[in-house]
Amino acid sequence: MALNLQNARFIASYGTVDGLPAPTTPEVAFVGRSNVGKSSLLNKLLGRKALAKVSSQPGKTANVNFFEADGISFVDLPGYGYARVSMAERQRWANLISGYFAQERSFNLVIALVDVRLEAQKLDQDMLAFLRENNLPFVVALTKADKLSRPKQTRQVELLSRQLEVSREQMLLTSAQTGLGIDELRHRIEKACD
């Protein structure tokens, strides 16, 4: 089945775990540190410039946002690790993320976004360990690949593969700017939701 994501639409935004809707469709969740490019990548994937709100300031996504396209729910989770918000707000975000994953949901695929320009961050390592421990299907989308030369991309993929303990086959170089990796990401989503 070829995914048709052109008719993507925003469903709702939830600020508490109790408010999250019961799952009725396959779900693809987007997780990653603040400002890693979750909303930008989601917009590129769904072919819409401003469906998910984007900001150059970290912490724009403060709620769990649900989008729907072709019978699949796309879930944009708050970023983790942003220090310029109150401790209470950071705790609320952490509770939203952990509460989302603690529910009985149809987790068809988790897309863990990691900035390809950086070495592995502790929070990313912790998230991937959590996904592995809970047997959640995931792929690592290495974001902002357009900011690196090809040789540097190759070196970073090898480095991050080791540091994150993830096979290179489970990683995708992506760019919300150029569209790099978007077709492969669509293919992985299609396969996971089939």
pLDDT at 58: 47
* Inside any domain, residue 1: no
Both tokens of 50, joined, read 């401003």
pTM value is: 0.89
pLDDT at 85: 60
Q: Domain range holding 42? A: 9-193
Q: Which residue has the higher pLDDT, 150 or 37?
A: 150
* Inside any domain, residue 4: no
| 3-45 pLDDT tens trace | 778 788 999 989 888 888 888 899 999 999 988 988 889 989 9
* Inside any domain, residue 151: yes
Using CB atoms within 10 Å of the CB of residue 149, give its burial: 0 to 12 exposed, 13 to 18 middle, 19+ buried: exposed
What CATH code is carried by the domain that includes residue 91? 3.40.50.300
How far out from the chain centre does Cα 177 lie? Answer: 16
Query: Alpha-carbon distance 31 to 18, whole Å?
Result: 20
Q: Are 145 and 107 in contact (CB under 8 A)?
A: no
* Inside any domain, residue 100: yes
Q: How many domains does the chain have?
A: 1
* Inside any domain, residue 3: no
* Inside any domain, residue 172: yes
- Residues 6 or more apart whose Cβ sits within 8 Å of residue 91: none
